[in-house]
Amino acid sequence: MSWVRVYIHMVFSTKNREPFLNSKELRKQVFQHIKKNAEEKDIWLDCVNGWHEHSHCLISLGKEQCISKVAQLIKGESSFWINQNKLTENKFVWQDDYWVVGVSESHIQSVRDYIHSQEEHHLKKSFTDEVNEFMEKYGWSFVKEK
């Protein structure tokens, strides 16, 4: 039997950063659904939370899972479900891109705390500022597609 525990912190936003998730009740409903759907698809989603225009997920990848497939299963199904249930006035769409970093065992609790505190965090800092901090922290730069 194989034993695998590879944690990732995945962040993805709504298309054009539209503030579709603009109520606490809606966010709770969407994130509970994402958690339930992940469980049904054998994705170990440790925690999920977010703000008006984005979501954070702490995920432990299974031995046969890849980041792109997990992102597709979470984002695609939740987008379909939101639209099917008419939870937003306009058509809901996640943007194609996402950000992912590996999380060491020693940092799991701090990432959980960070994800759980999104509401308080974004009362002080915008998502754009958060993205810029991630970019700087991990040495990333935007790459323009041709």
Q: Are 13 and 7 in contact, with CB atoms under 8 Å apart?
A: no
Q: At what angle do helices 67-84 and 24-40 cross, to 10 degrees?
A: 130
Q: Could you read off the pLDDT of 127-144 as tens digits, one per residue?
A: 777 777 777 877 777 655
Q: Could you read off the pLDDT of 21-61 as tens digits, one per residue?
A: 999 999 999 999 999 999 999 999 999 999 999 999 999 99
Where does the pLDDT of residue 112 fall: very low under 50, low under 70, confident under 90, or very high at 90 and above?
very high
Q: Which domains does the chain have, with CATH numbers?
A: 6-137 (3.30.70.1290)
Element (H, E) at 99: strand 99-103
